[in-house]
């Protein structure tokens, strides 16, 4: 049985006191077992109390089911939003050719690379071959966002590009030579490629990155050439598209459809256990009672608030902090890309990440000098106060950020990691811009509802008054200066109200 002391005690309040008593032993009576004394003197509970406790346990199981499946629904939200806007098929690869901006409702999108994202169905197509471009920063993940393999500098192609063969989870056929072959735990596979822009006239030039992305090819392994569908690369830039996970009862209906579609073993054991506790089993009807439906709907409303509250309060052990004297945080809180900490899966930290972000790969966590990537973020200013969009802040970056490829700074909404919706469609800046530098080569970046006098356009990120935000610093091709902490970004300093 899962123990939920805090949530259960808070939810039940004083209700337990009506039938929990302290064991009392008398010399004149035989001793009573502690549990019998604790639970109504060895008798069944009053029927109303039993029903209330059973309902409460179902609700807590639904909360746990949400926490364990959020990475999955995060990916389903991406897929459903994309396919509704751009179409479905192994040959359709939407590319944000003018960069992704706030018109795409996506968790922590990166507007400083060119995104290519698609959703493959190996149950429908069988084994698929993906010709990956050279110098891509990418990955294939299953729909629980477990990395099947990195692609690019830290992948087996070593940034040279190559042919990846994705096999269904139940595939038992021959595996031909010449491919980087991987079996996916789920039929559904997320293809996530990022190609790096070139430096143009004082700003980034996306054209070479788009051209490189469009060399991607996807086709079924066993199809003859004449039957392969030609690739389509719809331009996703400028489109208003909602790719977020559901926040209503459709959370459970989409989850049930996925459970029924995938092999039993595609769902991790712990997750299957959580789903069984709410009555969701592969191939069986999912017919919650009216009361259970009410509790499931309540869980979809309250679980995100619980995860959000944990994010707001931070960890008691403070292991999420990168530095002893700064507020910059690690999204993984020091854990591995598999969300293991001290050899144990950290479900709460994983849920906190997938509430505002997607994709987790070894290259984002490991110290791969010159090839991986790091994403420190902060929600506080130097004084320890939450960042608020009505204030003006300055971020000072020391000279020579340790990023072999490039660096970028972006503002996001704290709730779900979407971009602030202002007339500045890209709340971001990066090293491809000709940013003004201080005498020592350091850079100052400003945040606020209005650009301060004398600040360059490309050194200013607009925020929304009355709304909290976070700032993410991306370092692609992270170098030793970051790992050794010989290069440390300053905290944001509030300069005005």
Write out the chain's pLDDT in tens, 497 residues: 344 444 444 444 444 444 444 555 555 667 789 999 999 999 999 999 999 999 999 999 999 999 999 999 999 999 999 999 999 999 999 999 999 999 999 999 888 899 999 999 999 999 999 999 999 999 999 999 999 999 998 899 999 999 999 999 999 999 999 999 999 999 999 999 999 999 888 888 999 999 999 999 999 999 999 999 999 999 999 999 999 999 999 999 999 999 999 999 999 998 999 999 999 999 999 999 999 999 999 999 999 999 999 999 998 889 899 999 999 999 888 778 788 888 888 899 999 999 999 987 777 777 888 877 899 999 999 999 999 999 999 999 999 999 998 899 999 999 999 999 999 999 999 999 999 999 999 999 999 999 999 999 999 999 999 999 999 999 988 999 999 999 999 999 999 86
Please tell me whether residues 474 and 391 are part of one structural domain.
Answer: yes
With beta carbons less than 8 A apart as the criterion, state whether 231 and 137 touch: no
- 114 and 100 share a domain? yes
pLDDT of residue 2: 42
pLDDT of residue 5: 42
CA angle centred on 238, ends 249 and 387, rounded to 5°:
70
* pLDDT the model gives residue 29: 66
Same domain, yes or no: 449 and 385: yes
| pLDDT value at residue 26 | 56
| pLDDT at res. 25 | 52
The pLDDT value recorded for residue 23 is: 52
Does the global pTM surpass 0.85? yes
Assess whether 5 and 136 both reside in one domain.
Answer: no
Q: Verify that 101 and 36 share a domain, yes or no.
A: no
Range of the domain at 192: 87-241
Domain contains 158 = yes
Measured distance CA(38)–CA(52) in Å, rounded: 18
Instruction: Say if 325 falls within a structural domain.
Output: no
Q: Is residue 103 domain-resident? A: yes
Is there a single domain that holds both residue 65 and residue 78?
A: yes
Question: What is the total count of domains within the chain?
Answer: 3
* pLDDT score for 291: 97
Per-residue tokens: 133: 């471009």
Assess if residue 332 is contained within a domain.
no
List, in sequence order, every residue forming a beta bridge with 429; answer none if it has no partner: 409
Specify whether the CB–CB gap between 411 and 427 falls below 8 A: yes
């Amino acid at each position: 049985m899962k123990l939920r002391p805090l949530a259960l005690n808070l939810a039940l309040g004083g209700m337990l006191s009506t039938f929990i008593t302290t064991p009392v032993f008398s010399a004149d009576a035989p001793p009573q077992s502690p549990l019998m004394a604790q639970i109504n003197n060895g008798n069944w509970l009053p029927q109303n109390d039993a029903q209330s406790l059973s309902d409460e346990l179902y609700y807590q199981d639904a909360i746990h089911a949400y926490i364990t499946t959020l990475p999955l629904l995060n990916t389903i939200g991406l897929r459903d939003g994309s396919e509704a806007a751009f179409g479905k098929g192994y040959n359709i690869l939407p590319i944000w050719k003018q960069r992704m901006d706030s018109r795409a409702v996506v968790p922590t999108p990166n507007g400083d690379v060119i995104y290519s994202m698609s959703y493959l169905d190996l149950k429908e197509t069988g084994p698929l071959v993906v010709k990956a471009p050279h110098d891509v920063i990418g990955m294939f993940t299953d729909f629980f966002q477990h990395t099947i393999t990195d692609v690019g500098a830290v992948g087996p192609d070593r940034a040279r590009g190559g042919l990846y063969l994705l096999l269904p989870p139940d595939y038992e056929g021959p595996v031909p030579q010449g491919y980087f072959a991987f079996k996916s735990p789920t039929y559904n596979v997320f293809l996530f490629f990022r190609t790096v822009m070139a430096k143009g006239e004082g700003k980034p030039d996306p054209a070479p990155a788009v051209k490189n992305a469009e060399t991607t090819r996807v086709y079924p392994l066993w199809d003859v050439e004449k039957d392969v569908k030609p690739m389509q690369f719809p331009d996703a830039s400028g489109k208003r598209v909602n790719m977020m996970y559901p926040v209503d009862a459709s959370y459970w209906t989409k989850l049930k459809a996925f459970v029924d579609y995938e092999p039993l073993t595609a769902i991790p054991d712990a997750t299957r256990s959580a789903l069984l506790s709410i009555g969701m089993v592969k191939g069986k009807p999912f017919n919650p009672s009216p009361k259970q439906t009410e509790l499931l709907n309540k869980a979809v409303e309250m679980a995100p608030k619980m995860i959000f509250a944990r994010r707001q309060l931070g960890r008691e052990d403070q292991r999420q902090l990168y530095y002893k004297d700064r507020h910059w945080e690690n999204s993984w809180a020091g854990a591995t890309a598999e969300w293991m900490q001290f050899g144990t899966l950290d479900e709460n930290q994983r849920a906190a990440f997938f509430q505002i972000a997607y994709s987790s790969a070894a290259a984002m966590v490991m110290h791969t000098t010159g090839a991986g990537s790091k994403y420190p973020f902060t929600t506080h200013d130097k004084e320890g106060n939450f960042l608020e969009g009505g204030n003006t802040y300055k971020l000072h970056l020391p000279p020579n950020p340790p990023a072999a490829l490039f660096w970028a700074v972006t503002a996001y909404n704290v709730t779900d990691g979407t971009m602030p919706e202002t007339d500045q469609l890209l709340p971001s800046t990066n090293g491809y811009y000709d940013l003004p530098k201080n005498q020592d080569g350091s850079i100052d970046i400003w945040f606020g509802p209005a650009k301060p006098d004398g600040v360059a356009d490309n050194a200013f990120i607009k925020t929304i008054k009355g709304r909290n935000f976070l700032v993410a610093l991306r370092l692609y091709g992270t170098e030793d200066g970051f790992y050794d902490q010989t290069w440390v970004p300053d905290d944001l300093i509030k300069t005005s109200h």
